[in-house]
Structure 1
């Protein structure tokens, strides 16, 4: 039997579709999956004052090693690995810049140079130190703020799927606000039917299973200032939203990685992303970038 459940979590609709033997198992499975996502939100949300990640950020510059939960350590380890492999275009320490840019977008006012410089000075993934033995983190500079919005939903989707597997559910799809994790195909079919858009005219229908997929682009969230459109995705080097419109879809073996790479490759653009992709075995990309009238496309999904 096919079951569908939906719930608003982490500021997005989370949709769960799976095949289970009966209603009672389905209800328990969906309940456990959504409960796990809520648990993770308590840890990872930069919107919640008391969240574990915000408490950790508050210790920045104190010179202290702070023991953290297994989940937070794990997601920061993935983030740091991706930062190292992409030359810092993905960066969990970008919180000060993200906060500034979020505020600017809401108000429609471009942040002054001084504010951008100050926010950038408090970022840099090398300022986040990790000690695996004691499962502790140190943030070496005062005023740092962590933001793992770039991979949190992918991680949450993977963890939700694990809850289903514990109950013997092997055919499932978790769509965490556009970050999708898929397990075995629905009974009697070759895969899950997924439509991927390049942001304008081209749509690709695919049958996928046992992979994860994430799409990133400024389609809905951007700021227009003096006739220039800036994306909600911030470039860690400049501290401002991307100027070129990018639509990125990544298919990876893992949801956390797919989510992070969709952001990283949006920042890097086609040329640099081709170089970085060598470090991520089994990942495929569809990247469209528009600069002025010029459109370039890199499509590995053909």
Structure 2
């Protein structure tokens, strides 16, 4: 189906910014709506910036999508266990390097090698079945971030074990949003927001305001509205994506240690200077839980988190956004 970019325009009048107009664009990409809001002097600049930004996201999707057989990341996975160092694009190397760094700092709570387990659960969810313990263990045996080696000299990657499959869904949208905003900035646009399915990257405040108004939830009844600029935000939770089996709801976020979807996670929101890091930490902290995440925060001093868990009707709420 051909996807169209939808454009809406509202004029913003302000003595200091009388020449800037607000533009909003939206396009379905990477399985989510990508919404771009920007302030530009005219239609031609706004449209050119938006089209280029969305083209950049589509290019990244061709590289990083594990749904596409010919994607670069799937071609890399296909060479796992060959003993070969595979040269990859700078984009793929950069996102894998960020992934490895966060994996090490969170003791594997985030793991881009979880592809075999993710594939297993996709199949199970479609069939409405729960994988056998043996099937889970077999999938887990092909994972482990320490089995992926990176060589920055020539952007090379080695996947040590046969059957490995990379999945960077836990930080891909944040990375794409960051890259899209870089494109927008290249057009001289200073105020812009990219919302990639809840992974948000913000630049300067909209003209005449104190920041972009962003509202986040604890997953139930508590809301918080903040004015933010020049930062990034990511939210993760099982509100829409989960598997229910025998009355138990399993999150789409899988614990790399057990190979099973999270049971007690409600919602995680992370604010960080970088969109890729915010996206990855939202997943990592969801997996790690409140106690361990507090320990890991020492590695991410510029980030803040709001993490909510529920177990046996007891809700634990760790909110650094207050």
TM over 0.5: yes
1:228 CA drift (Å): 1.0
Q: How does 1:116-155 map to 2 (within 5 A)?
A: 116-155=136-175
Tell me, yes or no, if structure 1 residue 222 matches structure 2 residue 242.
yes
Which aligned runs of 4 or more in structure 1 are off by greater than 3 angstroms? none
Tell me, yes or no, if structure 1 residue 172 matches structure 2 residue 172.
no
CA distance in 2, matches of 1:125, 1:246: 26
Counterpart of 2:18?
Answer: none
Tell me, yes or no, if structure 1 residue 271 matches structure 2 residue 286.
no
Counterpart of 2:100?
Answer: 80
**Number of aligned residues:** 302
Counterpart of 2:78?
Answer: 58
CA distance in 2, matches of 1:299, 1:2: 33
Normalising by structure 1, we get a TM-score of 0.99
CA distance in 1, matches of 2:241, 2:185: 35
CA distance in 2, matches of 1:69, 1:110: 37
Counterpart of 2:3?
Answer: none
Kept after mapping to 1: 8 A contact 2:173/2:196: yes
CA distance in 2, matches of 1:4, 1:80: 35
Counterpart of 1:10?
Answer: 30
Q: Give 5+ residue unaligned stretches, structure 2.
A: 1-20
1:281 CA drift (Å): 2.1
Deviations 1:96-135 (A, max 9, x none): 0011111112222110011001000000000001111121
Counterpart of 1:256?
Answer: 276
1:286 CA drift (Å): 0.4
CA distance in 1, matches of 2:176, 2:236: 17
Deviations 1:56-94 (A, max 9, x none): 000000000000000000000000000000000100000
Q: Give 5+ residue unaligned stretches, structure 1.
A: none
> 73, 91, 96: which is aligned to 1:71?
91
> 237, 259, 263: which is aligned to 1:239?
259
Structure of greater Rg: 2
> 161, 164, 185: which is aligned to 2:205?
185
1:245 CA drift (Å): 2.9
